[in-house]
Amino acid sequence: MYSEEYDVIVVGGGHAGCEAAAAAANLGSRTLLVTMNLQTIGQMSCNPAMGGVAKGQIVREIDALGGMSGIITDKTMIQFRMLNRSKGPAMWSPRAQSDRMRFAEEWRLTLERIPILDFYQDMVTGLIVDKNRVLGVRTSLGSEIKSKSVVLTNGTFLNGLIHIGEKQFGGGRAGERAAKGITEELVSLGFEAGRMKTGTPPRVDGRSLDYSKMEEQPGDEMPEKFSFSWETRPLEKQRSCHITYTSAEVHDVLRKGFDRSPMFNGQIQSTGPRYCPSIEDKINRFADKDRHQIFVEPEGWNTVEVYVNGFSTSLPDEIQSKALRMVPGFENVKIFRPGYAIEYDYFPPTQLKYTLETKLVEGLYFAGQINGTTG
């Protein structure tokens, strides 16, 4: 199908893949972005936010180097807050609440404006490698596409396995299939692989919540921007988030389900992210705490869907529902999507050069969560 050779093939259309494709093409490389679904380019897999402690600085560094994440964030944010204001300026961390649908749409528009960036919808199942040099990729439809370099940005999709209580099924994200073949091929080439797990909370119907029982969390009075570009402007209006709390009673309900939790019954053996623990993990590790904070975050300007930040869980959906209904403001909550955990393959980044090129295969690069980062 592809008779010509690309300079760069980027596999995956998440945050890392979008930045890699834009960077390569904007610097003059003929680039192809291959993703399993063109409709989910730039989709925010977990919470609809950019930045935060440690992460906000990275977005601004990317912006300073000519990347697009800061600009996309500025164009699609619904709230801006500078975290850690009570500390010195070195600790300040910009964080934006984004409109999930507009964020992905803006990424798609931005990428489509780059003339030498092409797109192809298919699953990459293997690499073309000769004498420790990458020559291209193979896809599930049988295509062989040649390139001088390949950037793998597979996120949580490599042999992804989703857990909700005792139920488990393959997938890289809820409603999307897992990527097969790449891990096995990389291992055959001598790479070391591991398994990680992460999780996501339920999404709920904001119309079913009683915000009068919660604490309002508005954006900054004088919101800043992420990008240093003149292309964007600070927000003129913002949407508030809200704060509520779990209780000892909520924790009791959740504990009663621990024997059905993949985290505790041995179903999940993988390592979880250090700074994004599940509600089960928080209750287990901090048993002396009788409550934990929950941030109620709108998913955008024009949707009633709400992200329940701080309640990441893989417990059975009926336990999720029962526990949430005991949280102040959530008494009549309607769940749109249950929380879940996902296990996926990653490759320890000690196998990379400082350029993110692999040490074993020339021209092959890893970026994003494939390196064991937490996203």
- pLDDT (mean) for 209-217: 98
274-303 per-position pLDDT tens digit: 667 899 989 988 888 999 999 999 999 999
Residues of the chain above pLDDT 70, percent = 98
Task: Round to whole Å and give the CA distance between 157 and 13.
Answer: 11
| Residue 338 pLDDT greater than 70, yes or no | yes
Note the pLDDT of residue 2. 64
Is a pLDDT exceeding 90 seen at residue 54? no
pLDDT by residue (tens digit) across 125-182?
999 999 999 999 999 999 999 999 999 999 999 999 999 999 999 999 999 999 999 9
Give per-residue pLDDT as tens, 356-367: 999 999 999 999
Across the chain, what does the average pLDDT equal?
94
**Residue 374 pLDDT > 80:** no
pLDDT for 254 beyond 70: yes
Split at pLDDT 50, 70, 90, the class of 266 is: confident
Quote the pLDDT of residue 182. Answer: 97
Percent of the chain with pLDDT over 90: 87
Does position 76 have pLDDT exceeding 70, yes or no?
yes
pLDDT score, position 264 = 76
Task: State the pLDDT at residue 1.
Answer: 58
Per-residue pLDDT, 336: 98
Average pLDDT score over residue span 35-41: 97
pLDDT of residue 58: 92
* Weakest-pLDDT range from 49-58, 133-142, 311-320, 342-351: 49-58
Assign 3 a pLDDT band (cuts: 50, 70, 90).
Answer: low
Show the domains of the chain with their CATH numbers: 6-200+344-371 (3.50.50.60), 203-341 (2.40.30.260)
Please give the pLDDT value at position 104: 98
